[in-house]
C-alpha cells in the first residue's frame, strides 16, 4: 500500500518531465510490472490469512479435546503426559482438592536426562540397560551356581569336585538393570536420591528375582542408604564384561551405611575426606567339632555384631586421574546361640587405589589391599574374616589382594581392557576342607560401542583357585555380551 502511494505522488512529476517516446514507453512498462507484482503480493497475503485461520481452528479443537479428556479422568488418577499442538509434553496438575487446575508443560530438569516434576523443583530421571551374557565355560561350577553366570572364584571346582563336571554354556539376562534418580535443590544443599535394581539375587539361571543394588539419598555432604562401600574407589573399577571383575577387586561390597564427604583442596587440586559407618557382618570358618551350620560357601554367619564397620578414605583428584587411600576398622565377633560362648577381636585393613590417564583416552587402573579384617571385602564370598578352632578361640585372617587393568581405545567406538587380579590368605593350620587359600584371574576383552546406547563385547576369562590342601583348579571362559542402554 505504501508503494502505491509513492507511485501516485511521483506519477504527475514523471508525466510533466520532458521525455522521448522511448522513455515514456519504458515508464509504462515499469508501472505495469509494479502493478502485477502488487497483485501477486495481495494473493499471498490472502493465502497466509487462510492458513492462519486453519491453524487457529485446529488449535482450538485440540484444546477442547484435552479439556474433555481431563474432565473425564477418574478422581485421583495419576496425571498423564499429553502432547500439545506445539509438540511439547504437558501434565495436568491437580489442586489440593484433587481437581485438575491447569495443564503445565514438562520442562528439562537441572541435570542431563531428567525432567522437572510440574509444580516442584525436583528433577526426575530414569534409565538402565538390557544385557545378555552368553558364557561358555571349560568346567561347570555345579547345579544352580552363580559361578556359571559370573566369576565367583570360590566356586571353581578343585580336586575330586571336578569329577563329573564338564564344559557348560550359560545364557542369561540377569545383569539387566533399572535405575531411578532425583535431584532437588534446598537451602541445606542438593537433595539427591538414587535407586537401582538388577536380577542377580538367585543363583538359578532361570530365576529372575529382583535384587536391590543401590538405594540411598543425600543432602549436601551427608549420604544414607545402600551403595558401594566407602572402602572402594569406584574410579578404579576395571571395564570388564564380567560383573564381578578380576579376583582381588572390591566389586561386590554394596551395603547400608552413613557417610560424610568433606571436599577441600590442596595446592589448587580437588580433594575429599570421607568417613562412614557401614553395616557389619562377620563370616567365620568354624571347626566341625563346634557343630556350627554353614552357608553355601562353607562359612558361618554369627549373630550379635555390636559395632559398625568404621571406614575413612582420602581422595586426591588431579587432572591426570584419581587416587585414594582408605582405612578400615572392624570388630569380628562370634556368639553361639543358646550358650554363653562368644569371641571377638578388632582388625583393620588398608587400600590404595586409583585411575591414571596415560595416552589419549587410555588409562591404568589399580587396587592394592591388605589387612586382617579384609575378609569378605577381599573377593566375592571366597574368604572368611576369621577362623574358630576346636576350643572356640578366634583367629583373624591376613589377606593380600590386588588388581591392575589397562584400558586401550582403538578409536572412539572400539576399546579393550586387559586385567589381572590376585588374592591370597594366611589361613591357620587348623583350617581344613574346601577353603580357598589363594586365587588369581585374567580378563581380556574387545568392546564395540557403535552408539552411546549400545555395546557388544567379547571377553576371555582365565581364573585359578587353590585350596588350603594345595590342590587347585582352573577355569577358562568365553563370554559374549550385548548391552542396550535406555
User: How many domains would you assign to the chain?
Assistant: 1
Residue 60 covered by a domain? no
Structure confidence at residue 214 (pLDDT): 98
Residue 59 covered by a domain? no
Residue 373 covered by a domain? yes
What is the β-pairing status of strands 363-371 and 386-388?
unpaired
What's the CA gap between 409 and 411, in Å, rounded? Answer: 5
Structure confidence at residue 195 (pLDDT): 98
Residue 109 covered by a domain? no
* Domain boundaries, position 344: 123-485
Residue 382 covered by a domain? yes
Structure confidence at residue 16 (pLDDT): 47
If phi > 0 it is left, if psi is from -120 to 50 it is alpha, else beta; for residue 182 that is beta
**Residue 7, H or E segment:** helix 2-16
Structure confidence at residue 144 (pLDDT): 87
On whether the pTM is more than 0.85, the answer is no
Residue 232 covered by a domain? yes
Structure confidence at residue 99 (pLDDT): 52
CATH number of the domain within which 347 lies:
2.40.160.10
Structure confidence at residue 59 (pLDDT): 67
Residue 101 covered by a domain? no
User: What's the count of helices (H) and strands (E) in the chain, helices before strands?
Assistant: 3, 24
Residue 13 covered by a domain? no
Structure confidence at residue 23 (pLDDT): 55
Q: Which three cell numbers stand for residue 180?
A: 531411578
Per-residue confidence of the chain (486 residues) as pLDDT tens digits? 444 554 454 445 444 444 444 556 666 666 676 767 677 777 777 777 777 777 776 666 655 555 444 444 444 443 433 433 334 444 554 554 555 455 566 688 777 889 888 888 899 999 999 999 999 999 999 888 999 999 999 999 999 999 989 999 999 999 999 999 999 999 999 999 999 999 999 988 889 999 999 999 999 999 999 999 999 999 999 999 999 999 999 877 899 999 999 999 999 999 999 999 999 999 999 888 787 777 767 788 777 778 999 999 999 999 999 999 999 999 999 887 767 778 889 999 999 999 999 999 999 999 999 999 999 998 887 899 999 998 888 999 999 999 999 999 999 999 999 999 999 999 999 999 899 999 999 999 999 999 999 999 999 999 999 999 999 999 999 999 999 999
Q: Where are the beta strands (DSSP E) in 95-237?
A: 100-105, 115-116, 123-137, 168-172, 177-184, 191-198, 211-219, 222-228
Amino acid at each position: 500500500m505504501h508503494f502505491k502511494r509513492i507511485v501516485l505522488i511521483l506519477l504527475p512529476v514523471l508525466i510533466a518531465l520532458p521525455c522521448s517516446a522511448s522513455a515514456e514507453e519504458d515508464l509504462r512498462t515499469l508501472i505495469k510490472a509494479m502493478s502485477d507484482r502488487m497483485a501477486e503480493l495481495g494473493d499471498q497475503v490472502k493465502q497466509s490469512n487462510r492458513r492462519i485461520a486453519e491453524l487457529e481452528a485446529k488449535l482450538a479443537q485440540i484444546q477442547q479435546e484435552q479439556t474433555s479428556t481431563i474432565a473425564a479422568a477418574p478422581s485421583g488418577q495419576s496425571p498423564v503426559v499429553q502432547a500439545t499442538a506445539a509438540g511439547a509434553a504437558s501434565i495436568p496438575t491437580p489442586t489440593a482438592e484433587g481437581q485438575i487446575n491447569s495443564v503445565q508443560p514438562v520442562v528439562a530438569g537441572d541435570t542431563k536426562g531428567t525432567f522437572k516434576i510440574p509444580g516442584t523443583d525436583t528433577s526426575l530421571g530414569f534409565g538402565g540397560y538390557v544385557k545378555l551374557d552368553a558364557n561358555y565355560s571349560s568346567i561347570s561350577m555345579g547345579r544352580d551356581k552363580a559361578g556359571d553366570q559370573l566369576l565367583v572364584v570360590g566356586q571353581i571346582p578343585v580336586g575330586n569336585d571336578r569329577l563329573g563336571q564338564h564344559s557348560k554354556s550359560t545364557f542369561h539376562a540377569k545383569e539387566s538393570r533399572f535405575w531411578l534418580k532425583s535431584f532437588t535443590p534446598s537451602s541445606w544443599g542438593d537433595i539427591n536420591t538414587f535407586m537401582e535394581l538388577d536380577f542377580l539375587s538367585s543363583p538359578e539361571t532361570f530365576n529372575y528375582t529382583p535384587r536391590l543394588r543401590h538405594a540411598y539419598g543425600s543432602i549436601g555432604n551427608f549420604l544414607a542408604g545402600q551403595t558401594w562401600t566407602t572402602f572402594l574407589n569406584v574410579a578404579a573399577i576395571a571395564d570388564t564384561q564380567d560383573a564381578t571383575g578380576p579376583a582381588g577387586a572390591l566389586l561386590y561390597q554394596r551395603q547400608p551405611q552413613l557417610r560424610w564427604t568433606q571436599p577441600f583442596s590442596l595446592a589448587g587440586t580437588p580433594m575429599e575426606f570421607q568417613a562412614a559407618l557401614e553395616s557389619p557382618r562377620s563370616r567365620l570358618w568354624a571347626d566341625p567339632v563346634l557343630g556350627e551350620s554353614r552357608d553355601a560357601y562353607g562359612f558361618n554367619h554369627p549373630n550379635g555384631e555390636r559395632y559398625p564397620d568404621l571406614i575413612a578414605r582420602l581422595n586426591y583428584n588431579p587432572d591426570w586421574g584419581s587416587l585414594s587411600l582408605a582405612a578400615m576398622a572392624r570388630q569380628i565377633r562370634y556368639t553361639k546361640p543358646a550358650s554363653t560362648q562368644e569371641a571377638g577381636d578388632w582388625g583393620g585393613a588398608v587400600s590404595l587405589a586409583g585411575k591414571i590417564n596415560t595416552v589419549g583416552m587410555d588409562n591404568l587402573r589399580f587396587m592394592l589391599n591388605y589387612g586382617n579384617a579384609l575378609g569378605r571385602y577381599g573377593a566375592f564370598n571366597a574368604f572368611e574374616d576369621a577362623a574358630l578352632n576346636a576350643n572356640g578361640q578366634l583367629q583373624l585372617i591376613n589377606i593380600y589382594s590386588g588388581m591392575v587393568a589397562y584400558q586401550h581405545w582403538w578409536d572412539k567406538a572400539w576399546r579393550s581392557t586387559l586385567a589381572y587380579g590376585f588374592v591370597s590368605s594366611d589361613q591357620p593350620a587348623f583350617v581344613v576342607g574346601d577353603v580357598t587359600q589363594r586365587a588369581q584371574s585374567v580378563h581380556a576383552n574387545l568392546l564395540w560401542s557403535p552408539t552411546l546406547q549400545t555395546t557388544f563385547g567379547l571377553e576371555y576369562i582365565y581364573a585359578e583357585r587353590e585350596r588350603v590342601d594345595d590342590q587347585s583348579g582352573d577355569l577358562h571362559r568365553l563370554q559374549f555380551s550385548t548391552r542396550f542402554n535406555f
